Amino acid sequence: MGLTSAFNAARSGMGVTSRWAESVSSNIANANNPNFARRDTHIATNAQGAATVSEITRAVDSSLDAMYRDEVGRTARQDAIASGLSAYTSLLGDSQSSNTILTRLTDFQNALGLLSVSPSDGALQRSTVAEAQELARTLNSAGSELADAMDSAEDGIGADIAEINAALSRLDGYNEQLSSGGLGASEAQLALQDKIGAELDALAEYMDFTLRTDAQGRIELFAAGGAPLLTGNAAQMLSFDAATGTLSAGAFEITPGVPGVRGISEGALAGKIELFSETLPEMQAQLDEVARALIAGMEDADASLAPGEAGLFTDAGGVLSEPAAPGLALRIAVNGAVLPEQGGAYWRIRDGMGADVPGAAGDNTQIEAFIAVLDGDMAFDPDAGLGETATLSSYVATLIASQNSARAEAESSAESLAAGAIAVQSTRMSFMGVNVDDELQQLTAIEQSYGANAQVLTVVSEMIDTLLNAV
């Protein structure tokens, strides 16, 4: 090998060593950065036999990335459902709770039973009316909490859409930087790709999507069903119509769960839309059925009522309309006819809401009629999902169990899916993360390479000096 060739090879080796050292230093500096993908330096030999850095790449695995984001989206959807139901189901209680709709209904039935034995007892009349009020208030509280859950779900949908749109805008900006070509194969381009990866990881918590890269290196995003979200430099902003429950990306509908729609199915946004459009309305319908059955049953059992008069339980003080507007549980109230503070009298719990004057003190006929309707089978709307016929107490028990089960199932699914996401992320990080021990070993190799190339340059320099001195 001639002096020139030796000099060029050593100089090239020094350049390779320098870039390699920069890459390793960057890896070590970002060892604890979860959004950083390890840099791998690829060294090749050119036609003249000199070492060159062919490229520096990010250690990523697109399959692991997709698996992790899918698991994150599934977890977030179930977590959104569980979180959205938490406050309401806590208020609703369960079979072990001492203050639920079922226990209040039982207390009211027991009070009617005691009053039936002593229908003239004013204290029992008062306590029976008080139990009716407690039952109504418990339904009101559940209805109010359910309404709050609906409002929270709608607010959450708006907040998630704002985050998604902001992320799509940022990704659109990153695409412009990638397509400009100004970054080249520099560390700046690799750092930008890290930013894109972190942005996509965060976006996966809100919605599921598919990813591909175009010829210019720009990313393209599509909803899991295929509707475009980001193509070229055009981001489709999301919007939600609460009146129809429709989620759109630009002109494309991407509502989760709608047949034939190329939309999303996972992520926190999908979970909140499911809550807002399906789960909570169904729970409200079931709760309203309890209030409706209570109002209608007591009306039908009250022989003192004239047409158009309200029974013991009312729809905000009035008679029950058919069909009742949603939110009946929130509006149910005890008839003022039995409330002295509203001009009524306790004795009407014995004689009926339509009685003008007190009846026979020992007559428990009306009380027994109230007891019979509560103990007997009632008709319920099958569309509410809890059956067509049952006693009121068994219907309430089924409601409590079913609605608590919905939350518990979502929590269990979220925990299971989170464990899967953690496992995938562990594998993913072992592939793309930085192992400091490996990097330190590379530094040793870099030091040896640097020393060898420096020695060649020294020898070449000495030989050139010798030749010049000999002239």
**Percentage of residues of the chain with pLDDT beyond 70:** 86
Residue 33 and residue 238: Cα distance in Å, rounded? Answer: 31
Lowest mean pLDDT among 234-243, 318-327, 373-382: 318-327
Least confident of 20-29, 48-57, 234-243, 430-439: 48-57
What distance separates the 2 farthest-apart alpha carbons in the chain?
142
Calculate mean pLDDT across residues 152-158: 97
Residue 130 DSSP SS3:
helix
pLDDT in tens, 31-41: 777 777 777 77
The DSSP secondary-structure symbol of 454 reads H
In degrees and rounded to multiples of 5, residue 310 shows phi and psi of: -85, 150
Q: Which two tokens stand for residue 275?
A: 């809550």
Distance CA 333, CA 314 (A): 5
The CA-atom distances, in angstroms, between 276 and each of 152, 273, 399 are: 9, 5, 19
Answer with the residue of higher pLDDT: 363 or 22: 363
DSSP classification of residue 277: I
Four-CA torsion 12, 190, 221, 153, nearest 10 degrees = 170
pTM of the complete model = 0.86
The DSSP output letter for 391 is: E
pLDDT digits over 82-116, tens only?
999 999 999 998 777 778 999 999 999 999 999 99
Helices (H), 204-327: 268-274, 280-301
pLDDT surpasses 70 at 53: no
Distances (CA, A) of 176 to 29, 193, 210, 219, 234: 28, 13, 20, 10, 10
SS3 content of the chain, % helix, strand, coil (to 5): 60, 10, 25
pLDDT at site 431: 78
Q: Give mean pLDDT, residues 263-279.
A: 97
β-strands 246-249, 252-253 pairing: antiparallel
Query: pLDDT value at position 35?
Result: 78
Query: How many whole angstroms separate alpha carbon 100 and alpha carbon 134?
Result: 10
pLDDT of residue 245: 96
Helices within 93-224 (DSSP H only): 101-117, 122-180, 187-203
Q: Closest Cα partner for 81 from 274, 283, 284?
A: 274
Sign of CA dihedral 59, 63, 69, 71: negative
Q: DSSP per residue over 151-185, as a string?
A: HHHHHHHHHHHHHHHHHHHHHHHHHHHHHH--STT
Kindly tell me if the per-residue pLDDT of 454 is higher than 70. Answer: no
Q: Which of 205-209, 429-433, 441-445 has the lowest mean pLDDT?
A: 441-445
Banded model confidence at residue 48, pLDDT cuts 50, 70, 90: low
| Confidence bin at 25 (pLDDT 50/70/90) | confident
- pLDDT tens for 61-79 read 889 999 999 999 999 999 9
Q: Return the bridge partners of 333, or none.
A: 314
What ranges make up the beta strands (E) of 297-419? Answer: 313-315, 332-334, 377-379, 389-391
Residue type, 241: D
